[in-house]
Amino acid sequence: MSLIPGSVSLRDVLDVLLVAFLVYQGYLLVVGTRAVNVLRGIVVFAAVWAAAELLGLTTLSYLLGRAGTVGLFALVVLFQPELRAALERVGRPRGRETGPSGAALQDLARALERLAERKTGALIAIERRTPLGEYAATGVQIDAVISVPFLEALFARNAPLHDGGVIVQGSRVVAAGCLFPLQPGDGTYRRYGTRHRAAIGLSEVTDAVVLVASEERGSMRVALAGRLGPDLNGTELREQLRALLYDRPVLGDLPFARRAEAPEPGRAPGSEGGGSA
């Protein structure tokens, strides 16, 4: 059906709206990831290519055309983790997840607080909609109610499962000693050690809320959607967990998303890279 006979049809409008929607969703998927810089590079590359075409610079335009084809394949290889995360986000079920109960959440926060106070490193992933089974499989399966003493015992320095991350499903601890995917340590996060980068890495490829207690600094932080928040005190941690697990904010609403990019207090760049376990 034409709106103006012979010109724009309703189908055309729908077509343009759908393309705009897809472009916007694509932008949301890459914003905040290292792919943004590459995207800028691609835009510059395309602009130079278009200019070469317009000006009739045949050799340059031929070379850029060839490089573009090869570059497309290189991008798929280079950004395999980001592509995987993006597809996972697209296919993520929209229903409600069963998060930890109020009491379990209090215990999680209290345990992290106590571990941080004693400078015991800890890494805890709270499952939301994305199943964390494949990461749980890298560790030791357990099935225990969340409690402060249990979590403290798990991360105690000489405990057999203190290395790696713990996974929480609902109000239960389901695995410990798990290996999470490491954020590559580029860009904003190059100065962070592996515990923090494992938290960021897992939060990048899943929708898990990941808690970190730092052994070196005795600080507590939350990673979500590939970003690491700032140091939190106990009250802030509880508030943030409640907001993330019960109020369901979207990424743009995260209070810590931007503050996190500031350098860590009292830390020279590069000083966190090789901490101990």
Ligand X SMILES: Nc1ncnc2c1ncn2[C@@H]1O[C@H](COP(=O)(O)OP(=O)(O)OP(=O)(O)O)[C@@H](O)[C@H]1O
Binding stretches for ligand X (CB under 6 A): 121, 123, 163-165, 179-180, 182, 192-196, 198, 214-217, 272, 275-277
Q: Which is nearer to ligand X, 129 or 217 (CB)?
A: 217
Is 14 or 277 the residue whose CB approaches ligand X more closely? 277
Q: Please give the helix or strand (H or E) that residue 42 lies within, else none.
A: helix 35-54
Residue with tokens 């207690």: 213
Radius of gyration of the chain (CA): 23
Q: Are 204 and 29 in contact (CB under 8 A)?
A: no
Q: Least distance to ligand X from the beta carbon of 265, Å?
A: 13
Q: Which residue is nearest to ligand X (CB)?
A: 193
Q: By C-beta, is 59 or 276 nearer to ligand X?
A: 276
Least distance (Å) from ligand X to the CB of residue 117? 13
Min dist. Cβ of residue 182 to ligand X (A): 5
34 Cβ partners below 8 Å, 6+ apart?
Answer: 82, 184, 186, 187
Residue 270 CA to residue 193 CA, distance in Å, equals: 9
Start-end of H helices in the chain: 10-30, 35-54, 58-78, 80-90, 102-117, 133-136, 148-155, 194-205, 234-242
By residue count, the chain amounts to: 277
Give the pair of three-digit tokens for residue 71.
């570059």
Nearer to ligand X, 100 or 201 (CB): 201
**252 or 269: CB nearest ligand X:** 269
194 vs 203, beta carbon nearer ligand X: 194
- Strand ranges in the chain using DSSP code E only, listed in sequence order: 122-126, 140-145, 165-169, 172-178, 209-213, 220-224, 227-228
Longest pairwise C-alpha distance within the chain: 78
Q: How far is the CB of 178 from ligand X (least distance, A)?
A: 6
Shortest Cβ distance from residue 10 to ligand X (Å)?
Answer: 52
3 state SS of 206: coil
**Shortest CB 132 distance to ligand X, Å:** 12
Closest contact distance (angstroms) between CB of 112 and ligand X is 12
Helices and strands (DSSP H and E) totals, the chain? 9, 7
Nearer to ligand X, 49 or 207 (CB): 207
